[in-house]
Amino acid sequence: MRWLKSAGCWPSALLLAGRVGLRAGPRTASGSPETPELQGELDRFGGVSVHLARHRALHGLDAAAFRRLLQGAVFDDSTRKVLVVQDRNKLKNMWKFPGGLSEPGEDIGDTAVREVFEETGVKSEFRSLLSIRQQHGSPGAFGKSDMYLICRLQPCSFTINFCQQECLKCEWMDLEKLARIDNTTPITRRVARLLLYGHREGFDKIDLSMEEFPAVYTGLFYKLYHRELPESYRDTAGTD
Report d(CA 123, CA 114) in Å as an integer.
8
Report d(CA 170, CA 14) in Å as an integer.
14
Report d(CA 151, CA 70) in Å as an integer.
8
DSSP β-ladder status, 99-101 and 221-226:
unpaired
DSSP β-ladder status, 146-155 and 124-135:
antiparallel
Return the H-helix or E-strand segment holding 198.
Answer: helix 186-201
| Cβ proximity of 102 and 80 under 8 Å | no
Please confirm, yes or no, whether 118 is among the known catalytic residues.
yes
Report d(CA 109, CA 70) in Å as an integer.
9
Q: Which residues contact 210 (CB under 8 A, 6 or more apart)?
A: 109, 126, 128, 129, 223, 224, 225
**Of the listed 34, 41, 118, 201, which one is catalytic?**
118
Report d(CA 49, CA 72) in Å as an integer.
26
- Quickly count: other Cβ atoms within 10 Å of residue 199's Cβ: 16
Residues annotated as catalytic are 118
